[in-house]
């Protein structure tokens, strides 16, 4: 049996840019493109209709979220300058887990200057990932002052839209800055339901047990989005006092709340959590829901890992000094 010859890249691009329906499987050919393929891509990309570019980049972002082996980052980076806001948003979403320090300035520019509120929201979330990674020691600590100053300036700016301010607050949650706790407290007492949800998100980001009583209280909220966010925050804070209530929320009528509670149980770990999750695996109600069943299995793995001892990778950033000069955090 002869081996099927790979389709020429130029032919793949014609199909991706013009064929109906969009050949999703061919999108994987856009990963790790060689320089000559990138030139071919660039030559045709700008002529692709706006709606088609939006659909392609959104699919690429979804693939990147589920498959860490693909790399569409050159396309996402080009998408920062796309005239279509939805393409810019999808490009930022596609880089949700990036640790490329050179992307901080252009993402900062989108937060500060993009005319579309949705793009600013996505950019704030992307910068929040850098903050989190630096606070965890997986990126150099030297990037934090500029990032935090940028986010605080956007939060304080009188013209910042509320949805953007909410995500900026969430991004600041992990930052060990003296203003953060007060910002969270003020936002929680704001009275606006959406802002309160973001405040609870930020509470989880701090991983600080000072918020335990508030998080526990909000797990009783009549609002599904608040219960889900409180459940997630409980896992991030890691207080074992949350376990009983999380076990109840694992059977909540809202599936998002259920999944958040199950995930957080896995984060907290311990013998009691492993017993609860094991019982859920044998529950006929759980067995009927593939999504919940998968979440329970993953949580059990997480809880098992929490019970073991693991050495974290020691990242060496000595070779990244040349990136430091690329930063520009002008407000």
Question: In the chain, where are the structural domains located?
Answer: 9-233, 234-308
How far apart (Å, rounded) are the C-alpha atoms in residues 330 and 158? Answer: 17
How far apart (Å, rounded) are the C-alpha atoms in residues 34 and 63? Answer: 20
- Which alpha helices (DSSP H) does 67-211 contain, by range? 73-79, 85-94, 104-113, 117-135, 144-156, 162-172, 180-188, 193-206
**CB of 169 closer than 8 Å to CB of 183:** yes
pLDDT in tens, the chain (331 residues): 455 678 899 999 999 999 999 999 999 999 999 999 999 999 999 999 999 999 999 999 999 999 999 999 999 999 999 999 999 999 999 998 999 999 999 999 999 999 999 999 999 999 999 999 999 999 999 999 999 999 999 999 999 999 999 999 999 999 999 999 999 999 999 889 999 999 999 999 999 999 999 999 999 999 999 999 999 999 999 999 999 999 999 999 999 999 999 999 999 999 999 999 999 999 998 888 999 999 999 999 999 887 763 444 444 444 444 444 445 544 4
For residue 329, the model assigns a pLDDT of 47
How far apart (Å, rounded) are the C-alpha atoms in residues 246 and 76? Answer: 37
Residue 66, Cβ neighbours under 10 Å: how many? 7
How far apart (Å, rounded) are the C-alpha atoms in residues 201 and 234? Answer: 10
How far apart (Å, rounded) are the C-alpha atoms in residues 310 and 312? Answer: 6
Rounded alpha-carbon distances, angstroms, from residue 118 to 123, 158, 162, 198: 9, 18, 11, 16
Closest CA to 123 of 154, 158, 84: 154
For residue 5, the model assigns a pLDDT of 77
Closest CA to 226 of 204, 253, 187, 198: 198
For residue 321, the model assigns a pLDDT of 45
pTM score above 0.85: yes
Residue 323, Cβ neighbours under 10 Å: how many? 16
For residue 18, the model assigns a pLDDT of 96
Classified by CATH at the fold level, domain 9-233 comes out as: 1.25.10
Closest CA to 56 of 96, 37, 29, 35: 29
DSSP string of 285-322, one letter each residue: HHHT-HHHHHHHHHHHHHHHHHHS--PPP----GGGHH
Output the CA angle 192-158-171, nearest 5 degrees.
65
- Asked if residue 21 has a cis previous peptide bond (ω within 30° of 0), the answer is yes
> 3-state class of 125 per DSSP?
helix
For residue 319, the model assigns a pLDDT of 46
For residue 315, the model assigns a pLDDT of 44
9-233 and 234-308 agree in CATH topology: yes
Q: Which CATH number fits domain 234-308: 1.10.10.410, 2.40.50.140, 3.30.1600.10, 1.25.10.10?
A: 1.25.10.10
**CB of 184 closer than 8 Å to CB of 202:** yes
């Amino acid at each position: 049996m002869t081996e099927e010859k790979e389709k020429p890249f130029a032919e793949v691009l014609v199909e991706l840019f013009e064929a109906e329906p969009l050949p999703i499987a061919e999108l994987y050919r856009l990963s790790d493109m060689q320089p000559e393929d990138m030139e071919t891509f660039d030559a045709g990309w700008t002529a692709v209709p706006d709606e088609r570019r939006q659909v392609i980049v959104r699919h690429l972002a979804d693939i990147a979220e589920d498959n860490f082996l693909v790399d569409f980052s050159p396309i996402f980076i080009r998408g920062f300058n796309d005239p279509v806001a939805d393409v810019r948003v999808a490009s930022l979403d596609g880089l949700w887990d990036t640790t490329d320090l050179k992307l901080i300035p252009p993402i900062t520019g989108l937060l500060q200057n993009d005319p579309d509120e949705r793009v600013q929201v996505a950019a704030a979330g992307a910068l929040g990932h850098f903050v989190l990674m630096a606070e965890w020691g997986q990126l150099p600590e030297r990037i934090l002052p500029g990032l935090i100053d940028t986010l605080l300036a956007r939060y304080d700016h009188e013209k910042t839209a509320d949805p953007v301010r909410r995500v900026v607050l969430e991004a600041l949650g992990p930052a060990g800055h003296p203003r953060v706790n007060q910002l969270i407290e003020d936002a929680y007492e704001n009275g606006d339901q959406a802002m309160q949800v973001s405040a609870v998100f930020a509470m989880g980001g701090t991983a600080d047990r000072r918020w335990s009583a508030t998080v526990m209280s909000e797990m009783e909220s009549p609002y599904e989005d608040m219960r889900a966010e409180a459940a997630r925050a409980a896992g991030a804070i890691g207080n074992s006092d949350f376990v009983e209530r999380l076990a109840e929320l694992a059977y909540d009528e809202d599936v998002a709340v259920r999944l958040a509670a199950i995930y957080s149980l896995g984060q907290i770990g311990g013998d009691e959590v492993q017993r609860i999750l094991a019982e859920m695996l044998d529950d006929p109600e759980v067995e009927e829901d593939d999504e919940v069943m998968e979440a329970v299995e993953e949580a059990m793995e997480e809880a098992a890992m929490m019970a073991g001892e693991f050495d974290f990778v020691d990242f060496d950033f000595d070779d990244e000094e040349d990136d430091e000069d690329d930063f520009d955090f002008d407000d």
